[in-house]
Structure 1
Amino acid sequence: MKFSTKGRYSLETMVFLATSDTSCSIRSISDATGISSGYLEQLMIPLRRAGLVESERGVQGGYRLARTGITCLDVLNASEGKFQPVPCNGCKREKCKTHATWSLFKNNVNEFARAITLESLASHLVESEQGGGI
């Protein structure tokens, strides 16, 4: 199982925004992450709808995190949808031997992603002096 490019790039973008004290233009995000400007615009739509980023127009405008405490799970849910690794979803067997395992896997992945905030990821980047960003 792997997340799509959309989820990976959304997380990368959000961590970059978490390293900045000001709004970031699409161009500055693109320069720092290597993600094309056009694709970044598409990534921002579900993140904005989920209330994770705010945008500001104008010369000093750009994108910034909408709030603190955003988790990796918040970003992945906004960009990928709910994480559902249960391959036997809708299984008609009365006693499915794998359903409990996949449910446990889903719960552990969700709990892990819920425990990691963008601020904690960003602080590791700043501490390792990786350009104040990615």
Structure 2
Amino acid sequence: MTYDLSAPPRGTRALARDRAALALLADLTEGMPRHLVEEAACMFDPELHTGPGTFAEEPADERAAREQVAREVCRECPVWASCLFYALDARPQTGVWAGLTAEEIAELPGGHDASTRSPEVA
């Protein structure tokens, strides 16, 4: 399964899926500092970081492969540190944030206020 939103959608299902992925990403990024949303590498392929959607089944092996690719994208992201600070504060329930799954983030000790600029941005 490939995740490429840069290609034009094919048919109604593809368009609906792309819109659903963008809507999910918008929900996940609500309240995030604007620079994270605008500069984040995940904006180029939101489904990669969010998964297929609320009601779609995703086999464990496909999820693991998707999350591994998302981690690789996060490694090169220009706002990685800010995203990590935000994720530590917001404690998202789904997705891959700064190369970590929501489950991995939940296991980490508390973060800092997401409205505070990270050292990399300040």
| TM-score calculated relative to the size of structure 2 | 0.30
Q: Which has the higher contact order (CA 8 A, sep 6+)?
A: 1
